[in-house]
Amino acid sequence: MSRYWCTLLLIGIGLQVTSEAEGVELRLKVGEAQQGKFSNEINEYSKPREAYNAPEVAGEKGVAGAEATAQEDQQDGKIVNGTLADQGEFPYALSLRRAKTGAHSCGATLLNSRWVLTAAHCVRGSKPEQLNVQYGSNQIDRNASQLAWITAIHVHPGYEPQDKYIHDIALLQLKVPILYSRSVQPVRLPKPLQQVEANSSAILAGWGLNATGGALQLKLQKAQLQVFSDEECSRRHETQLHRSQLCAGLPEGGKGQCSGDSGGPLLLPALDTQIGIVSWSVKPCTRPPYPGVFTEVSAYVDWIRETVGCHDPHHSRLWIGDLVVARKPPPLHN
């Protein structure tokens, strides 16, 4: 596809892009949140918005855990009631960081050697040079050597933080391809519009806080959750969620995502496929009966494929559906 046609296509759908070369700034600050519902990002600049059907008002900063960023260097903490992930268990898991400080902000996943998947609220309002990703390790480190820098940010055109964070998805284009290894491999995407059955078991992976106002862990955690039906999800949240969102947690609460997990993956363990991107949840973290809310990846596979293909046709290969049975990455030079 020519660059000219790609430009016409993306103008036609209103894609909002932040490019290092163009120096374009987006209009909203990262992680702007509604009171009562909050994005699961670590960000001291977040501002509260009006609540919709909120069972509880969020803290002064709007995003739970924002006031806990000073605790980042503590050695304890985990996804709420999670367990340590094995090294190499999630070789596509990335830590999205503030380049200036090296502080963890959100999770992300590696799509191929040049592209990263995360949540829109993690990056909207940021310039590419303000962010980087750490890869190839379960342990986040401000002084890590395995870092990749970002050259462009592609936020979904329909992203709307004031409407339950619908279309909370973004793509990051890396400056230089990442080389694959045992601990660095791409994630598998679901087939377009692939449905996830209610009550399916799913795995959440991330470095988020172990509780609202708790500690950010340094080692990658995982937690086994239950996927809820769309009807059950809307009933529990007492509001109609968008068809491109899904819920996961436990009926009794007590396990799931918290601040710092945003942008990270929810996976079907049997298929090793990413079905969700951590988007938002109710404060305090894992409070029953409210499950965590995720962007449903299968609703955006076509958008991902088109965006990657338009902007980087030489690195457009993606792992979708049943193209690869075992965990075997595409060739290094894709």
The full DSSP string for 294-328 is EEEGGGGHHHHHHHHHHH-GGG----BTTS-SSS-
Strands, DSSP E only, in 89-200? 93-98, 104-112, 115-118, 131-134, 147-155, 170-174
**Cβ proximity of 120 and 159 under 8 Å:** yes
Strands 221-228 and 83-84: antiparallel
Strands 170-174 and 104-112: unpaired
pLDDT value for 6: 58
pLDDT value for 40: 57
Could you give the CA distance from residue 34 to residue 86 in angstroms, rounded to a whole number?
35
Could you give the CA distance from residue 256 to residue 208 in angstroms, rounded to a whole number?
10
Query: How many of the other CB atoms lie within 10 Å of CB of 325?
Result: 6
- Looking from the CA of 6 toward its CB, the CA atoms found within 13 Å total 13
Rg over alpha carbons for the chain, rounded to the nearest Å, is 18
For 144, counting Cβ atoms within 10 Å of its Cβ (0-12 exposed, 13-18 middle, 19+ buried), the class is middle
pLDDT value for 39: 60
Exposure string (b/e) for 44-70, b if CB count within 10 Å is 16 or more? eebebbeeeebeeebbebbbbbbebbe
Could you give the CA distance from residue 307 to residue 9 in angstroms, rounded to a whole number?
10
| pTM of structure | 0.78
- Looking from the CA of 330 toward its CB, the CA atoms found within 13 Å total 18
Instruction: Give counts: helices (H), strands (E), the chain.
Output: 4, 17
Find tokens 């993690």 and name the residue.
122
Length of the chain: 334
DSSP-H helix ranges across the chain: 3-13, 120-123, 230-237, 301-311
Amino acid at 21: A
Strand partners, 216: 209
Class at the top of the CATH hierarchy for domain 1-313:
mainly beta
List, for residues 243-252, the tens digit of each pLDDT value: 999 999 999 9
pLDDT value for 283: 85
Strand partners, 94: 108
pLDDT value for 323: 57
**Cβ proximity of 36 and 238 under 8 Å:** no
Catalytic residues, which ones? 121, 168, 262
List, for residues 303-319, the tens digit of each pLDDT value: 999 999 999 888 889 99
pLDDT per position in the chain (334 positions), as tens? 444 345 434 433 334 444 444 333 222 222 333 334 446 555 432 222 222 222 222 222 222 222 222 233 222 334 788 899 999 999 999 999 999 999 999 999 999 999 999 999 999 899 999 999 999 999 999 888 999 999 999 999 999 998 889 999 999 999 999 999 999 999 999 999 999 999 999 999 999 988 888 777 899 999 999 999 999 999 999 999 999 999 999 999 889 999 999 999 999 988 889 999 999 998 889 989 999 999 999 999 999 999 999 998 888 899 998 754 333 444 444 4
Torsions phi, psi of 68, nearest 5? -100, 10
pLDDT value for 269: 87
pLDDT value for 81: 83
